[in-house]
């Protein structure tokens, strides 16, 4: 069975760990909730998977909520396409003229590697 690029795989030995953060000049958000799909330009599956790991740095300016940063921290017991996720993170930091800090780890039954910000190049881990 072929795994499509956007599919999420889940098995006992599959894990992803995130320790990422980005700060940027305030972005006004119209509602109280950030849509990760639109904000990070990721598919629905990835957005739903990492939503609970995301925290936001915000402040209120009059009636508007201003977003000043985003952190993705925690661990999940499934994996998703790390290449498309990395491309989305790189595109996001370019568009908002800011830089991700930290890393995320991808581990499946064959591979384990660390992807360090801001370029998210793969570093093999033992």
Enter the pTM of the model: 0.85
Look up residue 101 and give its DSSP letter: E
> How many helices (H) and strands (E) would you count in the chain?
3, 6
Provide the residue-wise pLDDT of the chain in tens; the chain has 126 residues. 344 445 566 566 899 999 999 999 888 887 767 889 999 999 999 999 999 999 999 878 777 888 899 999 999 999 999 999 999 999 999 999 999 999 999 999 888 999 999 999 988 765
- Among the listed residues 12, 33, 26, 9, the one whose alpha carbon sits nearest the alpha carbon of residue 82: 9
- Among the listed residues 57, 74, 69, 65, the one whose alpha carbon sits nearest the alpha carbon of residue 18: 74
What is the reported pLDDT for 1?
A: 33
Residue 118 preceded by cis peptide, ω within 30:
yes
Residue 23 DSSP SS3: strand
What is the reported pLDDT for 102?
A: 97
What is the reported pLDDT for 2?
A: 40
76 Cβ contact list (under 8 Å, min separation 6): 15, 16, 49, 50, 53
Query: What's the rounded Cα separation, in Å, for the pair 53 and 35?
Result: 14
> Position of tokens 């998210």?
120
């Amino acid at each position: 069975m072929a795994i499509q690029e956007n599919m999420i795989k889940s098995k006992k030995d599959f894990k992803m760990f995130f320790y990422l953060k980005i700060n940027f000049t305030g972005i006004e958000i119209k509602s109280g909730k950030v849509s990760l799909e639109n904000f990070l330009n990721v598919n629905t599956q990835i957005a739903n998977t990492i939503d609970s790991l995301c925290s936001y740095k915000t402040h209120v300016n009059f009636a508007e909520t201003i977003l000043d940063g985003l952190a993705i921290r925690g661990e999940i017991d499934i994996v998703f396409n790390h290449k498309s996720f990395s491309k989305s993170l790189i595109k996001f930091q370019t568009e908002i003229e800011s830089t991700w800090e930290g890393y995320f780890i991808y581990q499946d039954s064959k591979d384990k590697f660390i992807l360090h910000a801001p370029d998210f190049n793969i570093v093999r881990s033992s």
